[in-house]
Amino acid sequence: MELMDAIAARQKAAAEGGEVPAHHPEMLLIGCVDARKDPIDDLGIPKGSSLILRNVAALVHPEHEKRLTESAALAFAVRHMGVKHIAVMGHTDCGGIRAALEGISSYSLRDYLQPIYSLSEQVREDEDGLAAQRHMLEQEAVKYSVRNLRSYDYITEAEAEGRLTLHGWVLDIATGRIHVWDETADRFAPMVHD
Ligand SMILES: [Zn+2]
């Protein structure tokens, strides 16, 4: 079915009226615009339980750069909704990560992805082969974004008071498995084991 037909078919099935569902999100998930995995259907996040911000490469810039969409989503989630968790979820085979590693053509993307581009220089020194570099950069970008969450005073404060926990995840787009950053050990490990 064509995309627009699929949307129209769903519209026909939608009932008139109905109740507004309750909204008590416990988490803000920051993910990539990549359309291959869906947080609700594929990750099993129940509807209404997590706010979701998606941008290219799940990137969080430092507060002083004044990226308004990121800042607004963080303020809304933490200050107004009082979420208990923020998860930055990068993913494998990310076009944003590839663009930073392999060269960026568009100016606006170059500006936006500049921090990942900077990280990629170190990754290129540390790892041989494009696949290994990409894998490492996916992880480094998530770590960078989690650290940048702490450039917001109210996030640092909430974390210090135990009201908020920050998570760094890399979603394997092939398997749907999430690898979690253990910040103390500085390594990624599967969220669950077989
Ligand atoms: Zn991506």
Residue 1 and residue 77: Cα distance in Å, rounded? 36
Strand (E) or helix (H) holding 160: helix 153-160
Ligand 1 centre distance from Cα of residue 36 (Å)? 10
H and E: helices and strands count for the chain: 7, 6
Is 97 a residue whose pLDDT tops 80?
yes
Mean pLDDT for 68-80 is 97
Cα 38 to the chain's mean position, in Å? 12
Residue 148 and residue 131: Cα distance in Å, rounded? 26
Q: In the structure encoding, which two tokens stand for residue 14, read together?
A: 């939608």
Q: Is 156 helix (H, G, I), strand (E, B) or coil?
A: helix
- Top-ranked range on mean pLDDT: pick from 39-43, 110-114, 136-140: 136-140
**CATH 3.40.1050.10 for the 24-190 domain, yes or no:** yes
Q: Give pTM, 2 decimals.
A: 0.94
For residue 144, how many C-alpha atoms fall within 13 Å in the half-sphere facing its CB? Answer: 22
Share of the chain above pLDDT 70, in %: 100
Ligand 1 centre distance from Cα of residue 10 (Å)? 27
Alpha-carbon torsion angle 122, 127, 132, 136, nearest 10:
-40
User: Mutual orientation of helices 130-149 and 95-102 as an angle, nearest 10°?
Assistant: 110
* pLDDT computed for residue 39 by the predictor: 86
Ligand 1 centre distance from Cα of residue 15 (Å)? 34
Q: In the structure encoding, which two tokens stand for residue 90, read together?
A: 């990068």
Which segment of 36-45, 105-114, 148-157, 175-184 scores lowest on mean pLDDT? 105-114
Q: How far is CA 125 from CA 15, 83, 132, 136, 137, in A?
A: 57, 38, 12, 11, 12
Ligand 1 centre distance from Cα of residue 172 (Å)? 11
Residue 144 and residue 90: Cα distance in Å, rounded? 11
Q: What is the mean pLDDT of the chain?
A: 93
Residue 153 and residue 46: Cα distance in Å, rounded? 29
Domain ranges (residues) in the chain:
24-190
Mean pLDDT for 20-26 is 91
Ligand 1 centre distance from Cα of residue 97 (Å)? 7
Which of 167, 34, 176, 51 shows the shortest CA–CA distance to 97?
Answer: 34
